[in-house]
A = this chain, B = another copy of it.
Amino acid sequence: MTPKLDPAGNVTTAPGFRAGGTFAGIKTAGEGKLDLGILAADFPCVVAATFTQNRFRSAAVEVNVEHLADARARAVVVNSGCANSSTGERGMADAREMAALVAAKLGIASTEVLVGSTGVIGQYLPMDKIAAGVSAISLAHDGGSVFSRAIMTTDTRPKHGAVRFGPYTLGGCCKGAAMIHPNMATMLAYLTTDAPVEPGFLRAELRAAVDRSFNMVAIDTDTSPSDTVLLFARDPAGQPGALDAKSPLAAEFRAALQAMCTHLAREIARDGEGSTRMMEATVTGAASEAEARNLARLLTTSYLLKSAVHGADPNWGRISAVIGRSGAAFDEADVTIDLCGARVFERSRPTDFDPAAVSAAMRAELVPIAVSLGNGPGTATAWGCDLTPEYVHLNADYTT
C-alpha cells in the first residue's frame, strides 16, 4: 500500500532539521527571487547520496564525494544561478570555500557540509556574494519552504512533500527542468528523516527508490553534470532501534521513501520546461526489467511522440516506432498499445478506435501510454512531458 503523502511537507517537516535562504545576487534580481539556501541537522547524520553519471561532474559533486567518504554530514548549502561546472581548479576551490563558509557559521567541520550548485555551466561562482549570503541566512525549524524556493531556477513552483512511517517522518524537496539562463536541466533533491538508519541500508534503499523515480523522469535527453540526491538520516550511533533491513519498520520505511521519491519525480515531470501536460509511460511484459525501463524512458524522450502529445494527436505509429527501435525482444503479434486507456494496436494491426475521442482524452493534464510486449515479467514506468514551441524558445535564448 502506498503511504499517504502530504504535499505541503518539506525538508524541515522531520523534527531536528532547520533551513533558510536568501537572495545573494547570483541570479539577476526579481520579485521574491532567492538563490542561496542552507539545510542543517541538529544532530549528527548519516547521508546516502546518488550523483550524476555524467563523466564531466560539477565541482559540487566532486566535493560531495570527498566529504561523504565517511557517509556522514550535517548540512548542505545550495546556490542557483551558476552550476560551477567545467570550471577546473578554481571551481573546485570555490566549492570547498562555500562549504567552509557554512561550516564556520554552524561551528562544524568543513567536511560535514555538502554543496550544490545549479545554473549555467562554465561560469565561476561570485564568491563575495556567496560569503555575504551565507552570513545573511537565518535557519529555522520551519525554513523548508524558503529552502525549496532558493534552489529553484526556471521551475514554476517549489516541489516538496513529507510522509510518515511509524514514529518517524521523511521530508523532501527537489528542483528540476529549469534554468536561470536557459542551460542544463539540473535535478537536485534533498531528503531528511529523523529516523536513525544504518548507513548501508540507507544507501541501498535510496538507490532502489531513485532507480524507480528520479531515474525515470525525462524532460529531454540531456544529463546534467550536477544531478544529486541527498538523503539525511539521524546517525544511528548510540541510538536505540536503528533501522536496518531486519527492522520491523523496514518495509514501511521503504514504502515511504519510494512514495516520496515518486512524488518528487512526478512533480519534476509536471513542471517540465515549457510543458503543458505530463506523459506517463508504462511498459509490461518485457523480457527483463532493463528492457522495460529502457523502452519506458525512450517513450518519454521521443521528439515525435512528445510533439504528438503536445498536439493531442493519437498518432500511435510513433509509439510502435519507438518500441521497434528500443532493442527490446518481442513478437509483433503479442504487442498491445493503449493510449489514454484506448487500445489502438493489437494482433499486428490497428484497432478501429475513435481518434476524436482519444484526442480529446489526450488534452488532459496526464497522458498515460501503456505498452505490453507479451514476452516476460519486466515492467517499468517513466514520466515525461510534451515538447512545446515554448521549450525551444526558452532554450534558444542567448546565455550572455
Interface residues of A (CB under 8 A from B): 53-57, 83, 85-91, 120-123, 182-185, 220-225, 301-305, 307-308, 310-318, 320-328, 330, 332, 345, 347-350, 355-356, 359, 387-389, 391-400
User: Closest 3 CB pairs between A and B?
Assistant: A121-B317, A311-B396, A56-B324
- Are B56 and A323 in contact, with the CB atoms below 8 A? yes
Q: Please give, as numbers and ranges, the residues of chain B lying within 8 Å of A224 by CB-CB distance.
A: 321
- Are A317 and B220 in contact, with the CB atoms below 8 A? no
Q: Which residue of B lies closest to A91 (CB)?
A: B349
Assess A359 versus B398: contact at CB under 8 Å? Given A321-B56, A321-B184, A325-B54: yes
Counting every copy of the chain, the complex holds: 2
Q: Please give, as numbers and ranges, the residues of chain B lying within 8 Å of A397 by CB-CB distance.
A: 311, 313
Q: Please give, as numbers and ranges, the residues of chain B lying within 8 Å of A322 by CB-CB distance.
A: 222
A345 to chain B, nearest CB (A): 6
Which of B55, B86, B348, B395 is A311 in contact with, Cβ under 8 Å? B395
- Are B400 and A356 in contact, with the CB atoms below 8 A? yes
Which of B121, B304, B350 is A321 in contact with, Cβ under 8 Å? B121
- Are A220 and B324 in contact, with the CB atoms below 8 A? no
- Are A304 and B389 in contact, with the CB atoms below 8 A? no
Q: How far is the CA of A311 from the CA of B221 in the complex (A)?
A: 19
A211 to chain B, nearest CB (A): 17
Q: How far is the CA of A185 from the CA of B321 in the complex (A)?
A: 11
- Are A345 and B392 in contact, with the CB atoms below 8 A? no
Q: How far is the CA of A327 from the CA of B330 in the complex (A)?
A: 27
- Are B88 and A347 in contact, with the CB atoms below 8 A? yes
A352 to chain B, nearest CB (A): 11
Among A83, A224, A308, A317, max chain B CB count under 10 A is at: A317
A392 to chain B, nearest CB (A): 5
Q: Which residue of B lies closest to A119 (CB)?
A: B317
